Amino acid sequence: MDYTTRLKPSRCRTSAVPGRSFNEEMESDRGRAVNSAALRRLQQKTQVFPLQINAAVRSRLTHSLEVQQVGRHISKIILARLSTAGQLDTLGLHGLEEGFICAVETSCLLHDVGNPPFGHFGEKAINLWAEKVLCSEYHRRFPGTREDLLRDLCNFEGNAQGLRILHHLQALNLTHTQLACLLKYTRSAAEEAPAHTAPFSYLKKKPGYYISEIPLIKEIGRHVAISPDCRFPLTYIMEAADDISYCIADIEDAVDKNILTVQRLHQLILSTWRSFKEENPEVIAADYLPKISEEAFTHFTVEEFNKDSAYILGLRTKLVNDLCEYAAQRYIDNHEAVFAGNFDESLLDGSDEYHFATETLRRIALEHVFCTPEVENLELKGYAVISGLLNIYSPLIELEGFLFEQLCHNGDLPDHPIESRLFHKLPKKHKEAYSRAIDELPSSSSAQWEFYHRCRLIIDYISGMTDGFALAEYRHLKAID
């Protein structure tokens, strides 16, 4: 294992400041991320509860900041243990530690930038619209051809969209290392999901990129020496940091919103933990998570002020620290597979107490938070907004190719006033990304590809909106006061 083959300062376009070291380039990536519009928009995108005025409830941005801190902590534990074992030199990591940590932190900051308004229900709205509108239009125009393009369009996924935003829309020109860190899943949206028993079934359980980004994926793989279907090693750390953060965050937000009381949460932890008894009786009998919850609940009962916070703080501090230590050790214990990128599971998987702790909290969130009327009503509202906006912009999809070309060239179609006005509302960066893609098309299959990139143009715009802007735009275009 030689990390100098993975941690590279190269970029897709030549850096404006040549000759910088790997550590310096990673610091530059961090600066680009922090100052990007894509990151800023996360402050008005939902984590669980959309359109919140309560600042204590997490947005995607505050969640990403928490993930960043956890990712930094795991990285420092890994590097400290490798240093203690005298392995930094032999692994080629000596002198690259700062860049290693920075790459993980930046990937943690950016991991959610591709999520649409209203979270996972926004994703569902986009995919249902694609299956209904895009499939019908595509089959009308191109019967029996390039079904892979259609599968790709019907598989919107936040991780894949994030890569597209950062590279093609925002054009941040991040290093190949940083882009590789963000590739959480290793199949394209045009591929079918593999069977659970197939190789790379975990790494390919969701789409990680679109057909439009395949040339970029190949370029990244060449520069950081990652084989097809494999994951970049630092991505495992980012994923673990995300999993650790949201398993606590969703529960804490539910307490802040009075969806769960501390007393109810404490009882749910005890009962849910013990529901795993058949899977591993010995581990469950040791009561790892119940003991943490009992100790936190003791703080809750004796605390005079901020009783809920005392419980959550006790639960979170112990669990997050333990899970960080666990994820770091799993990284080291499976180092060769992680380095190669063929370790086909999460760092938090397994059958021990730490895995069951995260599963307990995840199940409580699924069964007692996400399914509550408040959350489901917000999801339905989000679905109405996103599907409504996509339907409003559908005339641009239904326009014949030669007419859309004229619209792009002239900026107006006198005989198509609705389409012209919708086109005027699309952001300049999105239209420029579409034009670049069209300019690069081979003439042999330009019609299908033009339709594909036009669909991406509309999806890019709607999925990039914040919750509040999407709602306001929907009301505006539907003439709702």
**Confidence bin at 37 (pLDDT 50/70/90):** very high
Indicate if 250 belongs to the active site: no
Helix (H) or strand (E) holding 408: helix 401-410
| Under 8 Å between Cβ of 190 and 152 | yes
Q: Rounded to two decimals, what is the model's pTM?
A: 0.94
Helix (H) or strand (E) holding 188: strand 187-188
**Which residues, at least 6 apart from 457, have a Cβ–Cβ distance to it below 8 Å?**
426, 430, 431, 433, 434
Helices (H) and strands (E) in the chain, counts: 23, 2
Q: Given 3-state DSSP classes, what are the helix, strand and coil percentages for the chain, each rounded to the nearest 5?
A: 65, 0, 30
- For range 202-223, the mean pLDDT: 97
Which is catalytic among the residues 6, 11, 58, 112? 112
Report pLDDT for 49. 57
Helix (H) or strand (E) holding 208: strand 207-209
Q: Give the residue with greater pLDDT, 58 vs 431.
A: 431
Report pLDDT for 52. 53
Which is catalytic among the residues 40, 139, 421, 436? 421
Indicate if 63 belongs to the active site: yes
Indicate if 111 belongs to the active site: yes
Report pLDDT for 45. 85
d(CA 423, CA 410): 11
Which is catalytic among the residues 41, 58, 60, 63? 63
Instruction: For residue 432, give both structure tokens.
Output: 């420029």
Query: pLDDT for 283-310, tens place per residue?
Result: 999 999 999 999 999 999 998 889 999 9
- For range 22-33, the mean pLDDT: 97
Report pLDDT for 247. 86
Indicate if 112 belongs to the active site: yes
Report pLDDT for 351. 82
- For range 393-412, the mean pLDDT: 95
DSSP structural state of residue 96: -
Indicate if 242 belongs to the active site: yes
How distant, in Å, are the alpha carbons of 15, 163, 232, 347, 364 from that of 166?
16, 5, 18, 26, 34
Which is catalytic among the residues 111, 151, 223, 231? 111
End-to-end alpha carbon distance in the chain: 62
The residue ranges of every structural domain in the chain are 125-144+373-477, 260-368
Whether 337 shows a pLDDT value over 60: the answer reads: yes
- For range 223-231, the mean pLDDT: 96
Whose structure tokens read 């949206």?
189
Residue 389: count other Cβ atoms within 10 Å of its Cβ: 23
**Which residues, at least 6 apart from 189, have a Cβ–Cβ distance to it below 8 Å?**
151, 152, 155, 156, 157, 160, 207, 209, 210, 211
d(CA 184, CA 60): 18
- 194-203, 256-265, 436-445: range with lowest mean pLDDT: 436-445
Which is catalytic among the residues 30, 176, 223, 242? 242
